[in-house]
């Protein structure tokens, strides 16, 4: 049974933490779904994490649609949220609805996510009016990091915190079913979470939100660059080490002619009696 939006509200009211994680392909979609996570985000972090870019800005609708389709085919229980990439919703309400529609119709997403309040509020209203659930994203919004002065925590001063609070109320009023709060001071994130009826999902925002999200590759220790990692990342596995060791062992086996062994080959069929010699 797919998790529903009312289920999320129930989890919030019962103070049961909501687990969200990113995935970008079919096998990891299957794995995290089998692990029982509640929400799977096909984030535009794909641009950094699996496509080799140094920001989320270059992610395209075609790329996000393909990745979302692969993930959603593997997820049975969790709600799949497709991330709207930069410039797929900023230009007009019509384009926003069309882009969201692609992630749902072609990508199989259950909902979409977009960043910001202000001009994004009309987009949220338009997409929700078309029948597609929307998750908001406030605080550090990577698509507009440049204009906000880089990847920095938001709402640290009283004025910024007040603005963040107002934005959170505004995305709720615009119709979002939930909102990601990224790199927001924990007290602010917790106060917003208590004030909103919709669910809040934190990343780098402390333990007071209704749920948490992490980027899968970050928690697995798979890095696509050697730069510093945000301090909110917790490593649950060293998959880079596992893959490196496996590749090394394979290379050694091939070079020493230990692989393939007799158990890895298809034997020629025994000749049929009376057949050609
Ligand atoms: O793109 C992404 O993975 C995200 C999460 C960090 C929330 O937006």
The rounded Cα 4 to chain-centroid distance in angstroms is: 18
Predicted pLDDT at 277: 60
How many Cα atoms are found within 13 Å in the side-chain-facing hemisphere of 33?
Answer: 24
**Mean pLDDT, rounded, for 237-251:** 97
Mutate to test the pocket of ligand 1, among 55, 57, 111, 182 (most ligand atoms within 8 A of CB): 182
The percent of residues in the chain predicted with pLDDT above 70, rounded, is: 99
**Mean pLDDT, rounded, for 94-112:** 98
Please tell me the pTM assigned to this model.
Answer: 0.94
Predicted pLDDT at 147: 75
Query: Is residue 11 in contact with ligand 1, taking CB distance under 6 Å?
Result: no
Query: Is residue 83 in contact with ligand 1, taking CB distance under 6 Å?
Result: yes
Non-local CB neighbours of 70 within 8 Å, separated by 6+ positions: 24, 25, 26, 29
Whether 185 has a pLDDT exceeding 70, the answer reads: yes
CA distances from 110 to 73, 119, 141, 168 (A): 12, 24, 22, 22
What does the mean pLDDT of the chain come to?
Answer: 95
Predicted pLDDT at 99: 98
Mean pLDDT check: name the lowest of 29-38, 51-60, 161-170, 223-232: 223-232
């Amino acid at each position: 049974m797919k998790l529903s939006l009312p289920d999320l509200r129930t989890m919030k009211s019962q103070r049961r933490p909501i687990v969200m994680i990113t995935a970008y392909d079919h096998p990891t979609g299957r794995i995290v779904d089998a692990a029982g996570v509640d929400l799977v985000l096909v984030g535009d972090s794909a641009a950094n994490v699996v496509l080799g870019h140094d920001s989320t800005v270059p992610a395209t609708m075609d790329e996000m649609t393909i990745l979302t389709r692969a993930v959603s085919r593997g997820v049975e229980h969790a709600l799949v949220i497709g991330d709207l990439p930069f410039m797929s919703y900023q230009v007009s309400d019509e384009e926003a609805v069309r882009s969201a529609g692609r992630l749902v119709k072609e990508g199989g997403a259950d909902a979409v996510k977009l960043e910001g309040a202000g001009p994004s509020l009309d987009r949220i209203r338009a997409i929700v009016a078309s029948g597609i659930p929307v998750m908001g994203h406030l605080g550090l919004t990577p698509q507009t990091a440049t204009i906000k002065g880089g990847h920095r925590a938001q709402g640290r001063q009283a004025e910024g915190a007040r603005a963040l609070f107002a934005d959170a109320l505004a995305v709720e009023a615009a119709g979002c079913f939930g909102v990601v709060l990224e790199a927001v001071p924990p007290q602010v994130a917790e106060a917003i979470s208590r004030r909103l009826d919709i669910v809040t999902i934190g990343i780098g925002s402390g333990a007071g939100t209704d749920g948490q999200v992490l980027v899968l590759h970050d928690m697995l220790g798979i890095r696509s660059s050697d730069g510093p990692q945000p301090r909110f990342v917790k490593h649950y596995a060293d998959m880079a080490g596992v893959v490196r060791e496996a590749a090394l062992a394979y290379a050694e086996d091939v070079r020493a002619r230990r692989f393939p062994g007799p158990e890895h080959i298809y034997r020629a069929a025994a000749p049929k009696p009376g057949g050609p010699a």
